[in-house]
Homo-oligomer: A and B are copies of this chain.
Amino acid sequence: MKSELAAKVERTIRKFHMAEKGERLLVGLSGGADSAALLLCLDELGYDVSACHVNHCIRGEEADRDQHFCERLCEGLGIGIIVRRVDVPAYCRANPVSEEEGARLLRYNALQEISADKICTAHNLDDCLETTLFNLARGSGLKGIASIPPVRGNIIRPLIECSRADIEAYLAERGQDFVTDSTNLLDEYSRNKLRHKVVPVLREINPSLMETFAKTLGFLREDSAFLEKTADKAFEESIIGDGFSRKTIRGLDYPLRRRVIMRILAKNDIGISQDKIELIEQLVNNGGKASVKSECFAYTKSDILYIYNENNRPKSAEDEVVIRPDTVIIWQNRHICFKIIEIDGKFENVNKKFANSCLDYDKIRGVIVLRKRRAGDKIRLVGRSFNSDVRVLMKQAFPAHKRDGAVILADDEGVVLAEGSGAAERVKIDDNTRRVLVFDDRRE
């Protein structure tokens, strides 16, 4: 008989269109209660599941203990496991990030490098409540209050509607032990306070807290997604040439106006803050000119709002970044990771999400660079007999506010890849390909 938890997980997977039977699911397995239960559950439900344990090399002995636990667990279940070691302390010394953030980034990087259709992480309903409370404490909009998204790209969270109590009961029932999980979403300090001091008080007020919260969260998620979608549309409608119609923006209700202005800021790589939003709103209302960040100002010309960005001007080589394999490039607010995958034989095990993000590295002529789209860019996509206008491809592949951040790869002879549309015919992967260049946005 199917366990209660597995039944719940199956409902969640269906509800959020997380995965189909037959897809290859990769579970990020820390060995903690949540990921252990997730692995067991997905296995019980008959999914094609494998595991990846990322050893963060943070606490040596404990980390090795966790790794061995995961290996034994998978062995017992007959499930394949891949172990990856990442050096979080070294990464954090080299990059200005906290240990939590460094671990998260490297962990997701490691998971994304393994061939699978979907990556499954074990966030549960308690994590959502803690995140909601954390965002409420730290200040947030609806999106933050609505907490962790159930699906994000190829990352799915099948336990997102299960409480920690459900999960622990399931493991107890199966006699399955687990290790104490040391990787978490929030920093230790805030998480502990919320988990041990705040949540128990809320539970005293409402003993069915978790069931109720699951519903509340459902409503908030739907409301938030609807507002974001409506704002995407309003943003598109506000675009006039290189600028934005002040009249259109002024005519929007505040929730959309605010979100449209956030998109304008994001499109121009301007860090979003309430001050900046108000500044742009004032220009939209009253016209004028104002500096929005160094070498970047916003100004109006009759009905149109323009953002003039000194850094956005075509500057021959300066807005290009030469790609070196196995590096993460921070570009347009994204963490883009380039990898070389060596293959022998056919390149068939590529993760679906990379289908449009890879090319034959040995077919590159000269230097390969990452850059924004430029006027006049053309590409002959794989399998096509004609050149496509990259501007049109971008328009098909991305909402307007993401187009400027889309990856264009070019070599000495022109564009070889347009993100969202794929590689050029002349660098396509074929049976003779030995080295594949693949990239991915690694920001979680």
Contacts and interface: CB of A to CB of B under 8 A. Distances in A.
Interface of A: 132-134, 136-142, 145, 189-190, 193-194, 197-198, 201-202, 204-206, 209, 212-213, 215-216, 219-220, 222-223, 226-227, 229, 253-256, 258, 274
A220 B202 CA distance: 21
A215 B139 contact: yes
A133 B222 CA distance: 20
A139 B223 contact: no
B226 A254 contact: yes
Given A142-B220, A226-B256, A254-B222, A137 B205 contact: yes
The 8 closest A-B pairs by CB, nearest first: A139-B212, A137-B202, A226-B255, A137-B205, A141-B219, A223-B255, A197-B201, A222-B254
A142 B205 contact: no
Given A145-B145, A201-B194, A206 B254 contact: no
Nearest to A146: B142
Contacts of A222: 253-255, 258
Copies in the complex: 2
B198 A142 contact: no
B205 A201 contact: no
B205 A226 contact: no
Nearest to A274: B215
A202 B198 contact: yes
Contacts of A256: 226
Contact of A219 (B142, B190, B206, B212): B142
A136 B223 contact: no
B226 A253 contact: yes
10 contacts: A133-B136, A136-B202, A136-B216, A137-B212, A138-B206, A138-B212, A139-B206, A141-B219, A197-B198, A219-B255
A187 to B, nearest CB: 10
Contacts of A215: 139, 274
Nearest to A227: B223
A205 B134 contact: yes
A226 B193 CA distance: 34
